[in-house]
A and B are shown apart, each in its own frame.
Chain A
Amino acid sequence: MRRPPFAHALGALAAAALALGVLAPLAALVGRTVDAAAARTLVDPQLWGLVGRTTLQATASTAAALLLGAPAAWALSRPELPLRRLWRALFVVPFVLPSLVAATAVLAWVGPRGLLGVDLRDSWWIVILAHAFYNVGIVARIVGGHLEGATPRLLEAAAALGASPWRRAWRVTLPTAAPAIVASAALVFLFCFTSFGVILVLAPAPEFATLEVEVYRRVARTFDLGGASALALLQLALVLVLAQPYLRAQARMAHGVVRAAPTARGAIRWPALAAVAPAGLLVALPLAALFALAAAPPGGASLAGAVRSLTTPSRIVGLTDAPTAVANSLRFGLVATLLALLIGGAIAFAVERGGWRWLDAFGLLPWAVSAVTLGLGLLLVAPGLAASAWGVPLAHALLATPLVARVGVSALAAVPTAWREAAATLGASPWRVARRLDLPLTRAAWASAAAFAFAASLGEFGAALLLRRPETTTLPVAIAERLGRPGAGSYAEALALAALLAVLVGASVALIDRAGGRRRGAEPF
């Protein structure tokens, strides 16, 4: 079929948006780095100490997530696991949980004034624990989903060929799971290596800093834009290299997945339950602690007091009012979602209907560029715009664009060619085919992409913190502000705000299911 002009127009629009929004900021970072003093940052031995410590931290965090997540993944793929849907839903939670909520939840569990009564703040333990809590769901979902799709029929075949349960696990389950394990491990490593909000809240001491945290500190504390640019580019380069194993493993996962008919529920339940329980508790306990402490804050504060403080101007000097932060977050989320739908949708149509294949890969660029890096780049390119009320939503829109584009591309690719041909032979021009076929058939996918984009914007912390001004403070930034203050009052407010943010994000993600996520929706991973 012919490539319609409107697809080319959309492609040009999206390419221009990406060039202005991502390439120009990156160019500005390069421009700053070329400066001699900035380049010297890269040969500073302190920097390499930081990279080494971060690598060890990410390795330990990934190992912890794998250790708990892999058994859980196996359990999720077993039909005899009781409450399977509940466990599965539990492991989705960390996917969409904002980093600040995750950090606050871990703090409510094992922080000062935490429920457990041990204070692990400013230790490697809390960093690894928080990262395991935050990423165990990724392992469980990616590996579990892969096993569930690939193995039931294979295991039946192996059993028929005489393999015992242990032999089946060794000769079928493990080899099948291998690419998914590698892919999830690589992804978790990337997330821990570039961790920001979790580190800033749980381990603010300098020795725990990641590159992302260091970039932010140089901008915010010492205003060393050159050094920050150099570090941001170094991180981008490392991320691009570290992303390769993930991409390669993911490509291998695409092969050999056979959707199996549902199998009957077996009798043995305890092994599956035992395998899923540790990971399940790891995810459930901090969340329970967050809501328990938010409802009954420690240290003499009360929920009523916290709620009152959230609905009236804050009595603690220098903090942004909670109502302002909530309003900002919702407003920015809305604008960011609309912009991301526009750019991501344009990419998807240009790629699938206009044949702009290269735009597919180009559109993923904002995923490689971290939030803090993007914020810094925007600040360098257009300081006025970045500091205005448009700065944060613009950054959030760019960050959400790859997600919308991915979901859109796969949804449009799933519209059978035969249907579009049928429409054409009935007299529909390509533009009419897009309106009468593509859009209605992919509506659920766009709705779920929008919900994910909105949730991501609500929870985004790095760019929002870097670009913050008192009047553009968002919910996560307001939580961080309160956690940084001593006193039971601000702690209670932080807990209440984190609980509120969790509910808001949960509600917008719940809309994904409502919007038909079950039919033709898609998940970002």
Chain B
Amino acid sequence: MASVGPALEIARLGVRYGATVALADVDLRVEAGEIVALVGPSGCGKSSLLRAVAGLVPATGEVRATDRALHALPAHRRGVGVVFQDHALFPHLDVAGNVAFGLVEARAAAEVRRERTAAWLARVGLADRAGDDVDRLSGGERQRIALARTLAPQPPLVLLDEPFASLDPGLRTRLSLEVAGWLRELGTAALFVTHDLDEALAIADRIAVLRAGRLVQVAAPHELMARPADPWTARFVGHENVWEGDEAARLPGAPTAALLLAERARWRPGTGAAEGAVPATHVAASPVRDGWRLELEVPAWGTRVRWTARPRELPGGDAPGAGTAGILEAPDEAWFRWTGRG
């Protein structure tokens, strides 16, 4: 890859629809070969960001790719690949015709076109479906063809808009790992929108969190989970033990806001003492995939803590009865505290 700059560099990007501001002042870099996931609640501007980069909506600010200014170019001259949420396969072309579409526009020689189309069909495992009508493909097959179509012209950057949203969960996980594999193999940089955080954690090098049209954090997955930018982000990425304001003031260290990383804490029935240990009474339990989700009343902090227990961490492997007294060990490394105004 003889790239001369980041695969994508966005500066002060803004999108508005009439009076509604969909995106404001977004700065983001995607390095060559990097996979960045874009997450956020519905309506936060994820799709607008993708569409602005692709040139499908009018936007303010700058968009550069490998030091090429894209913001003044129409969509068809940007050379940015896009995989659409609903696949947008062309119904009047067969499977091979869809994959070859971009190669034709790139004026690839007929030989090159055939070769690359065949290679991509083989790569996505649909070599025997070349002449098929796209209407006859299953959801997963449609998804693969949409990917092959986007990747066949070898764009240095691809944008994926919730590419796996329409697939059932099992297929989704498998296909997302497969796609990440292809992207890494080709050294193609990618910015992909998803509402599935697990998917983002599984395949992204970095995750960008968008809230109400603004980027709140861009970080590597473990960094995002361990050091979310603010309580909102912490809750958004799935943390349950987040306190702010008056609730936080009663916690150890009296922070402005705090997050208890539940997997670094431990609860056990009975009594005793350890570093950062407080009495915690079990109130209610509900089954989860890998054990029990316990609700613990912590009088010292004036709040409740939710903690997931694996069966082997519990006597008899079963959920304790309501009212069971216990000890919650929360050492300092289990805490992430925000200080100052947040």
Contact = CB atoms under 8 A, between A and B. Distances in A.
Contacts of B88: 416, 418-419, 421-422
Interface stretch (A211-219, A280-288, A424-432, A458-466): A424-432
A426 B102 contact: yes
B175 to A, nearest CB: 19
A421 B76 contact: no
A368 to B, nearest CB: 35
B149 interface: yes
A330 interface: no
Q: Choose among A425, A428, A436 the residue with the greatest number of B CB atoms under 10 Å from its CB.
A: A425
A239 interface: no
A423 B146 CA distance: 12
B202 interface: no
A427 B90 contact: no
B323 interface: no
A425 B82 contact: yes
A430 B56 CA distance: 12
Contacts of B133: none
A261 interface: no
B153 A426 contact: yes
A353 to B, nearest CB: 14
A42 interface: no
Contacts of A437: 90, 92
A440 interface: yes
Interface in B278-328: none
B153 A425 contact: no
Nearest to A416: B88
Contacts of B105: 426-428, 432
A427 B79 contact: yes
A30 interface: no
Nearest to A422: B88
B92 A423 contact: no
Contacts of B260: none
A423 to B, nearest CB: 7
Contacts of B80: 425
A419 B90 contact: yes
Given A427-B105, A440-B92, A422 B84 contact: yes
B92 A441 contact: yes
A430 B104 CA distance: 15
Q: Choose among A421, A428, A429 the residue with the greatest number of B CB atoms under 10 Å from its CB.
A: A421
A1 interface: yes
B91 A425 contact: no
B102 A424 contact: no
B188 interface: no
Interface in A394-425: 416, 418-419, 421-425
Contacts of A2: 74
A425 B90 contact: no
A354 to B, nearest CB: 15
Interface string A433-469: 1001100110000000000000000000000000000
Contacts of B86: 418
B262 interface: no
Interface in B17-66: 54-56
Contacts of A418: 84, 86, 88
A427 B84 contact: no
A437 B91 CA distance: 10
A432 B90 CA distance: 14
Nearest to B56: A421
B90 A424 contact: no
A423 B54 contact: no
A337 B284 CA distance: 78
Contacts of B117: none
B81 interface: yes
B92 A425 contact: no
A419 B150 CA distance: 13
Contact of B106 (A1, A423, A427): A427
Given A418-B84, A432-B105, A424 B76 contact: yes
Nearest to A427: B105
B106 A425 contact: no
Nearest to A442: B92
A430 B74 CA distance: 10
A419 B91 CA distance: 9
B212 to A, nearest CB: 25
B265 interface: no
B236 interface: no
A432 B101 CA distance: 11
Contacts of B55: 424-425
A425 B54 contact: yes
B157 to A, nearest CB: 11
A425 B78 CA distance: 7
Contacts of B79: 427
Contacts of A427: 76-77, 79, 102, 105-106, 153
Contacts of B91: 441
B303 to A, nearest CB: 47
A27 to B, nearest CB: 41
B75 interface: yes
Contacts of A441: 91-92
Interface string A21-38: 000000000000000000
Nearest to A423: B101
Contacts of B90: 419, 422-423, 437
A134 to B, nearest CB: 38
Interface in B78-132: 78-82, 84, 86, 88, 90-92, 101-102, 104-106
A440 B101 CA distance: 14
Nearest to B158: A425
Contacts of B76: 423-430, 432-433
A424 B102 CA distance: 9
A251 to B, nearest CB: 25
Nearest 3 interchain pairs by C-beta: A426-B102, A427-B105, A422-B88
14 contacts: A1-B75, A418-B88, A421-B54, A422-B82, A425-B81, A425-B82, A426-B76, A427-B76, A427-B79, A427-B102, A429-B74, A429-B76, A437-B90, A437-B92
